Amino acid sequence: MTVVGAADRPASPEARFNALFARHYPAIFGYAARRVGRDDAGDAAAEVFTVAWRRLGRVPAEPETLPWLYGVARKVVANQERTARRRLRLEAKAAVAPSEALAPPGTAGLEVEAALLRLGTADREVLRLAAWEELQPAEIAAALGCSANAAAVRLHRARQRLAGELNPESRP
């Protein structure tokens, strides 16, 4: 007769959450840091994982977990930026723009970042997801809530527009 202890029962929600948290926190922190700066990234990441905990039953299984978390992070960051903009207006004092919160490495490629800022929000996000989060189109699709095909097309067009921003003559 084998006596089975509590540890052999299905993983508790806490254990599942802790595993998910340990695996994906760095990536979500990085996502937030790239958009709102390191100072606020911790708050944003905490909020993302609070959502994940409260909706633990609906967090998709691997490998879709991280794209789903990116999708939540996108909304959280958007909310934080809205709040930050409100504060700026109200207090009418200079604040650090999100993209300046982290000193970029080196000085080369400033044109690329300037060009990135001139693109639309949707283009910017799809390019960042591909370049910085290193997501595949299918994962971008999960993060943005669109089909993989649409994500691939969006990425392609965004890359074209980025190139166009840098080479005005070649613009279609």
Partner 1 sequence: MNHDPFDTLRSRNPAPRESLPEAPMALATRITAGHPTLRRGLAIATAAAAVVLVAGGGWLIWSRTGGRPTVVGPTTTTTTVPETTTTAPATPADDAPTVVVYFLKDGALIPVARNLNVLNVRPLPDLGPLTMELLLSGPGAWDAAPLPDPVAAAEAELTTAIPEGTKLLGLTISGSVAQVDLSTEFAAASPEALAQVLFTLTRLSGVEGVTFSIDGRLQEVAAARLMEPHLVLAAAPGDPIVFAVDRADFADYLPPVMIEHPALGGTLRAGEAVTLLFGGGAADAILTLTAFDGTLLWNALATPDEPAYLPTEVVASLGGAGAWATLLAEARGADGAVLGTSQIPVWLEPGRQGEATTTTLAAPADDAPTVVLYFLDAATGAAVPVARDFSVLNVRPLPDLGPLTVELLLSGPGAWDAAPLDPPVAAAEARLTTAIPEGTTLLSFSLVEGTATVDLSAEFLSGDPATRNARFAQLVFTLTRLEGVQEVRVLVAGSPASPLDGEPGPLTWQDVDGLVPPTVIAYPPLGGTLQLPGIIVGGGFGRLALTLVDDDGTTLWSATVVGGTDCCAAAEVPGDLVDYGRWVALQATGLEGGAAGAAFEMPIWLEPGPPPETTTTFGLGDLQPFPPDMSAGCAPETIRDLAAFEAALAEGRRDLADLCAVLGVPDWITGSGLWIPAYDLADGSRLYLGYEGSGADGLIYANLVSPDGTVRDLLQG
Taking CB under 8 A as the criterion, which residues in 99-158 touch partner 1?
99, 102, 104-106, 108-109, 111-113, 115-116, 127, 130-132, 145
In the bound complex, what is the minimum distance in angstroms from residue 137's beta carbon to partner 1? 14
Binding-site size, partner 1 (CB under 8 A): 72
In the bound complex, what is the minimum distance in angstroms from residue 116's beta carbon to partner 1? 7
In the bound complex, what is the minimum distance in angstroms from residue 22's beta carbon to partner 1? 5
In the bound complex, what is the minimum distance in angstroms from residue 63's beta carbon to partner 1? 15
Distance, CA of 124 to CA of 13 (rounded, Å) = 36
Distance, CA of 77 to CA of 84 (rounded, Å) = 10
Q: If binding is defined by CB under 8 A, does position 171 make contact with partner 1?
A: no
B/e letters for 77-100, b = 16+ CB within 10 Å, e = fewer, are: beebeeebeeeeeeeeeeeeebbe
**Closest CB to partner 1 among 26 and 120?**
26
Binding mask 53-92 for partner 1 (x = CB under 8 A): xxxxxx-x-------x--xx--xx--x--xx--xx--xx-
Distance, CA of 164 to CA of 115 (rounded, Å) = 9
Distance, CA of 119 to CA of 44 (rounded, Å) = 24
In the bound complex, what is the minimum distance in angstroms from residue 86's beta carbon to partner 1? 6
> Which token pair is 150?
């649409």
Distance, CA of 59 to CA of 39 (rounded, Å) = 27
Quick check: 43 and 14 in contact, CB under 8 A? Answer: no
Residues 2-61 that bind partner 1 (CB under 8 A): 2-6, 9, 13-14, 17-18, 21-27, 29-30, 33-34, 38, 41-43, 46-47, 49-51, 53-58, 60
